[in-house]
């Protein structure tokens, strides 16, 4: 949770899921940490303010979803037994705290972007954020080339996986984003702007961005088919095409295809 003195506050929590069920959240992590501290379910439950039964139910739920044991239980003896956290359990706690820290940074950044907004301008801000987040495909990269024209510039990004994306944006956008060769940026491509072509080597179309890859999933809806394509370097691009197109191309998982989109369909961002 992020606290702020501003009129509008941003709140958020981190929850990890497995098989559509909650695996770990802040409350479960707190229980794990207290078990590690006290070596006792009873003391840990009391410390976090829950009943002994709920603590055991929580432990059972975590254990059922964990691939490796997170607890070691001992019974009997002078001390009446106890529960200790395994090294795997401690690693889970550490990982969660790292994710939580990054989440806090995200909220801080979001509040900084909001500024001192009030209720009257909040709706406008939310619409702006929604537009930025509406695209499924967001790729981080480095600007390696800028070719400036009279009105527009051609900007080339290299992604972490080695793929190149070319964007055509206005010179004003280049200046406002302070884009230069070597600077970090991200490319956003709407799934509906991605064209799918069969094969990888012989696809000939007047589109600047042609990225070879393999279909890893296909989901057919009432009108459209959504597919995820794994590119070289493990980047994943999402495309939405009509069912008629998917059927005419006879698309299936593991097909080698080419994901294509116009340079003018690429939105660039920084930060």
Look at residue 123 in the predicted model and tell me its pLDDT.
Answer: 54
Look at residue 92 in the predicted model and tell me its pLDDT.
Answer: 85
Look at residue 120 in the predicted model and tell me its pLDDT.
Answer: 52
> What is the pTM (predicted TM-score) of this model?
0.51
CB atoms within 10 A of CB 85: 21
Do 102 and 219 belong together in one domain?
A: no
CB atoms within 10 A of CB 257: 21
Residues 137-156 have a mean pLDDT of 92
Q: 39 near 84, Cβ under 8 Å?
A: yes
Task: Write down which residue in 132, 163, 184 finishes a domain.
Answer: 132
- pLDDT of 50 higher than 50: yes
Look at residue 239 in the predicted model and tell me its pLDDT.
Answer: 92
- pLDDT of 168 higher than 90: yes
Confidence of residue 152 (pLDDT cuts 50, 70, 90): very high
Look at residue 130 in the predicted model and tell me its pLDDT.
Answer: 46
Max mean pLDDT range (13-22, 58-67, 128-137, 197-206): 58-67
- pLDDT of 240 higher than 70: yes
Task: Write down which residue in 84, 113, 132 finishes a domain.
Answer: 132
User: How many CA within 13 A on the CB side of residue 200?
Assistant: 11
Domain that holds residue 80: 1-132
Do 104 and 148 belong together in one domain?
A: no
Do 117 and 221 belong together in one domain?
A: no
Confidence of residue 106 (pLDDT cuts 50, 70, 90): confident
Do 150 and 127 belong together in one domain?
A: no
Do 78 and 204 belong together in one domain?
A: no
Residues 101-127 have a mean pLDDT of 62
- CATH number, domain with residue 197: 2.40.50.100
Task: Write down which residue in 71, 101, 132 finishes a domain.
Answer: 132
For the chain, the average pLDDT equals: 80
- pLDDT of 165 higher than 90: yes
- CATH number, domain with residue 102: 1.10.10.10
Instruction: Name the residue among 167, 176, 195, 178 with its Cα closest to residue 257.
Output: 195
Do 267 and 142 belong together in one domain?
A: yes
The percent of residues above 90 in pLDDT, for the chain, comes to: 32
Residues 57-85 have a mean pLDDT of 72
Number of domains in the chain: 2
Do 120 and 166 belong together in one domain?
A: no
Residues 3-17 have a mean pLDDT of 60
Do 182 and 200 belong together in one domain?
A: yes
What is the rounded CA–CA span in Å between residue 192 and residue 139?
A: 16
Q: 270 near 185, Cβ under 8 Å?
A: yes
Do 93 and 218 belong together in one domain?
A: no
Instruction: Name the residue among 122, 143, 102, 173 with its Cα closest to residue 113.
Output: 122
Do 169 and 125 belong together in one domain?
A: no
Residue 139 CB partners (closer than 8 Å, separation 6+): 157, 159, 163, 165, 186, 187, 188, 189, 235
Lowest mean pLDDT among 34-43, 90-99, 167-176: 90-99
Do 212 and 241 belong together in one domain?
A: yes
Do 80 and 186 belong together in one domain?
A: no
- pLDDT of 83 higher than 60: yes
What is the rounded CA–CA span in Å between residue 82 and residue 255?
A: 53
């Amino acid at each position: 949770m992020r606290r702020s003195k501003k009129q509008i506050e941003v709140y958020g929590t981190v929850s990890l899921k497995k098989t559509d069920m909650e695996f770990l959240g802040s409350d479960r992590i707190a229980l794990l940490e207290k078990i590690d501290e006290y070596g006792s379910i009873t003391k840990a439950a009391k410390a976090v303010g829950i009943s002994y039964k709920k603590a055991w139910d929580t432990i059972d739920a975590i254990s059922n979803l964990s691939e490796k044991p997170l607890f070691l239980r001992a019974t009997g003896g002078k001390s009446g037994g106890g529960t200790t956290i395994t090294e795997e359990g401690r690693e889970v706690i550490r990982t969660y705290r790292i994710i939580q820290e990054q989440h806090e940074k995200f909220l801080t950044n979001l509040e900084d972007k909001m500024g001192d907004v009030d209720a009257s301008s909040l709706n406008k801000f939310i619409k702006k954020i929604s537009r930025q987040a509406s695209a499924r495909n967001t790729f981080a990269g480095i600007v390696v080339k800028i070719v400036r024209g009279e009105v527009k510039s051609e900007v080339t990004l290299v992604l972490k996986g080695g793929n190149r994306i070319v964007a055509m944006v206005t010179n004003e956008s280049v200046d406002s984003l302070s884009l230069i060769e070597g600077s970090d940026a991200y490319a956003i491509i709407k799934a509906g702007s991605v064209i799918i072509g069969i094969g990888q080597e012989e696809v000939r179309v007047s589109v600047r961005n042609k990225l070879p890859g393999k279909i890893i999933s296909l989901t057919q809806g009432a009108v459209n088919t959504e597919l995820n394509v794994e590119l070289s370097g493990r980047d994943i691009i999402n495309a939405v095409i009509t069912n008629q197109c998917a059927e005419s191309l006879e698309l299936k998982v593991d097909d080698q295809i080419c994901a294509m989109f116009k340079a003018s369909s690429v939105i660039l961002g920084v930060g």
